Amino acid sequence: MRLSRSPSPLAAIATLGAAIFPFAFLSTGGCQRTKPVPVVKNAGPKLPDVAHMAVKPNELGYIPVIMYHEIVPKTPTRDPGKMSRSVKAFRGDLEALYAAGFRPVNLSDVVNDTIDVPAGASPVVLTFDDGRESQFRLNETPNALNIDPNCAVGILQAFNKAHPDWPLRATFFVLPKSSTTNDVFGQAGLGPQKLQYLLKEGMEIGNHSVHHKDMSRMTADQIQAEIGGAHNALVADAPGATLQVVALPMGKFPKNKADRKYLLAGTFEGKSYAYKAVMDASYRAVPSPAALRFDPARLERIGARDDRWGVRWWINELTHGNAYPRYVSDGDPNVVSFPKEMEALANLPRLRKRWQFFAAP
């Protein structure tokens, strides 16, 4: 099945009716393709020119969102929280993802359902928490400040240079400078410059609160002070930045469910904030944004470790396993393609509001 954005939501609704099920759709089962049922002509953009039987797109599949913290020269002997990833292991993660056909997107691309990767490729999101110096370090030379080649940003740049089809995309959940935290990314006075550089290069920043405290027992005012305070500080340091996602410290959601709405929207010191998604700190890949199970109010992430449920395990599971079929792109961000037999997993009521239905060619 393929869905394409319609130039007019009203026109899309008017032409859809209830006539989606008679259409002939692509199946991954290897069966013969049947003649498509005609649909309204000129109802939207052209469908992607892709060999569907070879590519087998599945844009209802799962997407790995990987959570990194510290990037260190060598993994410490004691790392109880499994918060550190060695430089060698991080480079190995990128190589493994690349070889398996993954390509990076920003987290906002997933949340907004604007994923744009080549046909046959699968999206992956790299996220970095806390704004640590090992993620983005500048080395001082007599004439300039140079990016440390062994920090996360330096490693990503080198990988992009070696593999131009691996774009510079990543989401950094940072803590702004406060009474208890240093400048963003650690080095005094360089936080704003670093944030603006990330945005200029195509990456993005997200909200990780002000003080990195457990929010499970916070009041509504305390939650808004943490989220709104961070939002105000980051927007001031990076003018023009659009922050769309919050990552909760330690993945701790407010126990009072009535107060969880303040994670997404609220007001602090007379300024309002609004977010589209909240990140947990759990262990599974996230469903496609076109899937019924996609819940932007609680999205999970994969730990950057080597044991079961870690990044390498998930690369193998998404590539060769059956429980979590991976998201495979049709190459066109304006079209959603998926096998007919997975139709029950699609959020069709929501998709009807944004997309035009087409038959498979």
Per residue in 162-210, pLDDT tens? 999 999 999 999 999 877 778 999 999 999 999 999 999 999 999 999 9
Q: Tell me the two tokens of residue 254.
A: 């407010």
Instruction: Report the domain count for the chain.
Output: 1
The pLDDT assigned to 346 comes to 92
The pLDDT value recorded for residue 11 is 30
Distance of alpha carbon 272 from alpha carbon 317, whole angstroms: 41
User: Can you give the pLDDT at residue 359?
Assistant: 47
**What pLDDT, in 10s, does the model give residues 57-104?**
999 999 999 999 999 999 877 776 688 999 999 999 999 999 999 999
Q: Is residue 341 part of a domain?
A: no
* Block residue for tokens 């013969």: 32
Which alpha helices (DSSP H) does the chain contain, by range? 9-16, 52-55, 87-99, 107-111, 152-162, 191-200, 220-237, 261-264, 311-320, 348-354
Q: State both tokens at 97.
A: 């993802």
Of the candidates 238, 230, 151, the residue with the CA atom closest to the CA atom of residue 191: 238
Q: Is residue 347 part of a domain?
A: no
Decide: helix, strand or coil at residue 2. Answer: strand
- pLDDT confidence of residue 68: 97
pLDDT at 29: 35
How many Cβ atoms from other residues are within 10 Å of residue 275's Cβ? Answer: 20
Question: Is residue 306 situated within a structural domain?
Answer: yes
Ranges of residues in the chain whose predicted pLDDT is under 70: 1-52, 80-81, 354-361
pLDDT of residue 146: 96
> How many angstroms separate the CA atoms of 209 and 229, rounded?
7
Under 8 Å CB-to-CB from 93, ≥6 apart: which residues? 66, 85, 304, 311, 312
pTM (predicted TM-score): 0.86
| Rounded Cα gap, residues 46 and 332, in angstroms | 10
**CA dist., res. 78 & res. 76, Å (int):** 5
Q: What is the pLDDT of residue 26?
A: 30
For residue 44, the model assigns a pLDDT of: 52
Distant-in-sequence, close-in-space partners of 126: CB < 8 Å, separation ≥ 6: 66, 68, 104, 156, 169, 170, 171
- Please report whether residue 19 resides in a domain: no
Whether the Cβ atoms of residue 24 and residue 37 lie closer than 8 Å to each other: yes
> Whose CA is closest to 108, among 192, 169, 55?
169
Please tell me whether residue 278 adopts helix, strand or coil conformation: strand
pLDDT of residue 80: 65
Task: Give pLDDT, residue 142.
Answer: 87
135 near 156, Cβ under 8 Å?
A: no
Residue 239, CA distances (Å) to 27, 52, 91, 235, 314 in order: 47, 43, 32, 5, 36
Q: Determine the Cα–Cα distance for residues 151 and 198; give it in Å rounded to an integer.
A: 14
In-domain check, residue 349:
no
**Residue 288 falls inside a structural domain:** yes
36 within some domain: no
What is the helix, strand, coil percentage profile of the chain, to 5? Answer: 30, 20, 50
Residue 55's alpha-carbon distances to 2, 4, 97, 288, in angstroms, are: 14, 18, 18, 18
The one-letter code for the residue type at 328 is: V
Q: Are 195 and 184 in contact (CB under 8 A)?
A: yes
Q: What is the 3-state secondary structure (H, E, C) of 142-202?
A: CCCEEECCCCHHHHHHHHHHHCCCCCCCCEEEECCCCCCCCCCCCCCCCHHHHHHHHHHCC
pLDDT value at position 87?
97
- Token pair 């929207």 is found at 265
Residue 45 lies in a domain: no
Residue 127: domain span: 60-329
What's the CATH number where 104 sits? 3.20.20.370
Mean pLDDT of the chain, nearest integer? 86
